[in-house]
Amino acid sequence: MNANIKDKVVIITGASSGLGEATARHLGERGARLVLAARRVDRLEALVAEITAAGGQAIAVATDVSRQADVEALVERAVAHFGRVDVLVNNAGTMPLSPLAKLKVDEWDRTIDINIKGVLYGIAAVLPRFAAQGSGHVINVSSVAGIKVFAPIGTVYSATKFAVRAISEGLRMEAPEGVRTTIISPGAVASELKLHSSDDETAAAVQAFYAANEIPADSVARAIAYAIEQPANVDINEVVLRPVAQEF
Catalytic residues: 157
Residue 58 makes CB contacts below 8 A (sequence gap 6+) with: 24, 28, 33, 34, 35, 36, 47, 48, 51, 52
Site mask for ligand NDP (CB under 6 A), range 22-51, x = bound = ----------------xxx-----------
Which one of residues 8, 13, 97, 137 is an interface residue with ligand NDP (CB under 6 A)?
13
User: Which region among 10-18, 125-133, 174-182, 221-229 touches ligand NDP (by CB under 6 A)?
Assistant: 10-18
**95 HSE (CA, 13 A, CB side):** 24
CB of 80 to ligand NDP, least distance (A): 20
Are the C-beta atoms of 40 and 33 separated by less than 8 Å? no
Question: Cβ contacts of residue 117 below 8 Å, gap of 6+?
Answer: 65, 66, 68
Query: Closest approach of Cβ 98 to ligand NDP, in Å?
Result: 16
Residue 12, helix vs strand vs coil: strand
Say which amino acid occupies 72: E
Please give the residues from 114 up to 133 whose contact with ligand NDP meets the rule CB under 6 A: 114
Q: Applying CB under 6 A, which of residues 23, 66, 181, 182 lies at the interface with ligand NDP?
A: 66
Which 8-state DSSP code applies to residue 115? I
Q: Which is nearer to ligand NDP, 2 or 207 (CB)?
A: 207
Pick the stretch among 11-19, 76-84, 199-207, 231-239 that binds ligand NDP (CB under 6 A): 11-19
Minimal distance, residue 3 CB to ligand NDP, in Å = 27
For residues 18 and 5, give the distance between their C-alpha atoms in angstroms, rounded to a whole number. Answer: 21
Phi/psi of residue 140, nearest 5 degrees: -105, 130
Site string for ligand NDP, 141-180 (x = CB under 6 A): x-x-------------------------------------
Among 5, 9, 10, 19, binds ligand NDP (CB under 6 A): 19
Query: How many residues does the structure list for the chain?
Result: 248
CB of 131 to ligand NDP, least distance (A): 25
Alpha carbon distance 246, 163 (integer Å): 23
Q: Please calculate the CA angle 150-140-69 and round it to the nearest 5 degrees.
A: 110
> Rounded distance, CA 182 to CA 19, Å?
16
* Binding footprint of ligand NDP on the chain (CB under 6 A): 13-20, 38-40, 63-66, 91-95, 114, 141, 143, 186, 188-189, 191-193
